[in-house]
Amino acid sequence: MNPVKPSARNTTLKPATILIVDDSPVNIQVLMRTLDGTGHRILVATGGKAAIEISERARPDLLLLDVMMPGVDGFEVCRAIKSNPATNGIVVIFLSALGEVADKVAGLEMGAADYITKPIQADEVLARVTTHLIQQQLEREVRQSRDSLDRELSSAAEMQRMILPPKLPGIGNLTFEAFYQTSRYVGGDYYDVISLPDGQCGVIIADVSGHGATSAIIMAMIRATFHACPVPPVDPPAVMRYLNSQFRFLWGSSLLATAFYAVVDSATRRMSIACAGHPAPLLVRGGIVEPLKFDATIPLLIMDMPEIPRSEEFLRAGDRVLFYTDGITERENARGEMYDLPRLCGVLARAHTQSSEDLLRSVIQDVDDFAAGEEPRDDQTLLLISV
């Protein structure tokens, strides 16, 4: 037995409004008899001007539109309807005794959906009307579903932004600036700065693989787990082990998260580091920009991590450290070229004398200029520490 293929006929057609436009009473009667019993609301116009007025007022779903009419002909009616944002969604089917290909092409180029040649055949009219109304109905349902999903995702994005720090604290001689942009509504990037005892601060940045709802959920869970740390998170390797252990249920899944956690002492300027597969932050010292050098381990969420290296870096007055996710360096332009690390280092070197806010703005502008309107495919996060 062959499987039944889905088609337009499997869709329940809702009653629609159809406007018949023809200067011939006979043709109008034939069309009304043809559509009688279909459940559709039938309106009639005997001229082009009346058709335009009725379309603007009643907003029919479909027009059966005669081409050859005195005064305003069918082509002019179609042009007026399709140029009006309030009526351009109306389906137009031309009715004409003309058989010339050029006339059919002209009508279709104006936005008509179909063309029925007179003399009118009832079965053909019913089939074409039904097909186009079902298509219109399905398109509306898709738009409604898309709009509903857009609203849901926008709400989720707003909720996600609420769990990110609304304002980054100033701690001792350290100040912070951040930039965060998801690829589409919600994303998997996370950053945070927290105050710790004795003038220290904890700085974390993480990037969950992929983007979208799944990544956003894991990102929120990482944030909650980090803030639920049972002891002050002053030991970076211990923090990494703790985070990874809380996601044991994901070990062996396709998900992973890169993370970098640093504890900075604002008095001694000592920065203790632990890294789980995350891109190295960039140290901006004068006009020299270099990645921090340290030992790292594999990303989180993969397997047990008993040994996590600890590294240290001593900062100087005037230093900046830029934490970032790979959505920045892997941002693509229309040619598929990546922004890449050397370009990021270059803009930091050129803008190193600017204020922290302006320096971050310079990076964002340079990334956007490079992309030249190409939408980001991954989340983008920047977190700048200034001493």
Distance CA 64, CA 273 (A): 72
- Residue that has been written with the tokens 């044991």 in this structure: 248
Please state the rounded mean pLDDT for residues 289-311: 93
Check pLDDT > 70 for residue 8. no
3-state DSSP call for residue 275? strand
Tens digits of residue pLDDT in 195-205: 999 999 999 99
- The angle subtended at Cα 195 by Cα 191 and Cα 196, nearest 5°, is 120
Residue 130 or residue 4, greater confidence: 130
Distance CA 378, CA 210 (A): 8
Check pLDDT > 80 for residue 212. no
Please state the rounded mean pLDDT for residues 311-332: 94
Check pLDDT > 50 for residue 9. no
Position 60 scores a pLDDT of 95
Domains present along the chain, CATH in parentheses:
8-143 (3.40.50.2300), 164-386 (3.60.40.10)
3-state DSSP call for residue 314? strand
Q: What's the pLDDT band for 25 if we cut at 50, 70, 90?
A: very high
